[in-house]
Amino acid sequence: MKLTLVAASGRTGGHVLDQALGAGHEVTAVVRNPDAVTAPVRIVRADLTAPDPVALKSAVDGRDAVVSALGPRHNGEYGVASRGTRAIIEAMVAAGVRRLVVVSVAGISTIPTPSRPNPPKRDPGVGFFTRTVLSPLANLRLRKHYEDVALMEHELRVSGLDWTSVQLPLLTDKPPTGHYRMAYEQSVRGGFRIARADAAQFVLRVLGMPETVRHSVAVAY
Ligand SMILES: NC(=O)c1ccc[n+]([C@@H]2O[C@H](COP(=O)([O-])OP(=O)(O)OC[C@H]3O[C@@H](n4cnc5c(N)ncnc54)[C@H](OP(=O)(O)O)[C@@H]3O)[C@@H](O)[C@H]2O)c1
């Protein structure tokens, strides 16, 4: 496939890039710092806090699909997921490219957004301990990021594109196992983590799974 990979310089994006090239895909990498990618691919420079529509359209023109592993490097960058994804969507609409797979966060489907003002109060994949102890602790630190990612999923839902959001639990840098579970529109029950390498493998698999189009799909061990 001809793929455009946004955030190819990230820890998950780097695995997606390596595995995509290994699988024989032709990749255009969208990064804000071209020096961060050493693989022999076409690179388009784009800072997604101030997206350049012309550069982004040139990055997605003529591609079969776009994959995004975009996210904030630190809490000063919260907001980049929704703003950057909106810009990617606009570029894809302008270029007539339809398939978009983005990395998202497990558990954010209970956060209200303009297209889902009354989301389910509980994620059926989240057990009692996670709901009452782990999630409130994570919320203390990451609530703003979660709200931004929920807004990113809102942008997907109103985009009209053939999107899939891959909702991830805690990411590790352990070696891939090739074994994981998935769940539609809810977290994977008891699935607390996944290696970035396995998450990347799943992201690429999803490109060939039309049944995931216009769905949030969680993946975890
Ligand atoms: N970490 C976890 O445990 C966890 C758990 C669940 C879900 N997730 C989701 O997975 C996402 C990816 O995780 P990760 O660990 O792979 O993240 P990461 O290593 O921090 O990668 C973030 C990527 O986004 C890029 N980026 C950030 N701001 C940008 C901007 N303004 N313009 C262009 N590119 C920009 C970064 O580019 P640079 O290389 O230039 O900085 C980098 O390529 C997270 O953001 C989060 O939403 C993470």
pLDDT at 131 over 90: no
Average pLDDT over residues 181-196: 96
Q: Token pair of 110, please?
A: 């209970």
Say what percent of the chain tops pLDDT 70. 100
Centroid of ligand 1 to alpha carbon of 161 (angstroms):
22
Report the CATH number of the 2-220 domain: 3.40.50.720
- Cβ–Cβ contacts within 10 Å for residue 195, how many? 19
Count CA within 13 A, CB hemisphere, residue 115.
Answer: 12
- Domain-by-domain residue ranges, the chain? 2-220
pLDDT at 79: 95
- The preferred substitution site among 171, 180, 193, 216 for testing ligand 1, maximizing ligand atoms within 8 Å of CB, is 171
Confidence bin at 129 (pLDDT 50/70/90): confident
Residue 200: CB within 6 Å of ligand 1? no
Centroid of ligand 1 to alpha carbon of 171 (angstroms):
11
pLDDT at 174 over 90: yes
Bridge-based pairing of strands 162-168 and 99-105 is: parallel
Confidence bin at 54 (pLDDT 50/70/90): very high
* Average of per-residue pLDDT values in the chain: 96
DSSP letter at 105?
E
Average pLDDT over residues 99-126: 95
Q: Apex CA 106: angle with CA 156 and CA 37, to 5°? A: 70
Average pLDDT over residues 182-194: 96
Centroid of ligand 1 to alpha carbon of 24 (angstroms):
24
Average pLDDT over residues 136-163: 95
Q: Is 9 exposed, middle or buried (0-12, 13-18, 19+ CB in 10 A)?
A: buried
pLDDT at 138: 87
Rounded CA separation 88/157 (Å): 14
pLDDT at 31 over 90: yes
Centroid of ligand 1 to alpha carbon of 212 (angstroms):
22
pLDDT at 133 over 90: no
pTM of the full predicted structure?
A: 0.97
Residue 219: CB within 6 Å of ligand 1? no
pLDDT at 139: 87
Rounded CA separation 93/208 (Å): 21
Q: How many angstroms separate the Cα of 99 from the Cα of each of 35, 48, 60, 109?
A: 27, 19, 11, 21
Torsion of CA 91, 97, 103, 106, to 10 degrees: 110
User: Which are the contacts of 154, defined by CB distance < 8 A and separation ≥ 6?
Assistant: 82, 113, 114, 115, 116
- Ligand 1, closest atom to CA 172? 3
Centroid of ligand 1 to alpha carbon of 71 (angstroms):
3
pLDDT at 168: 98
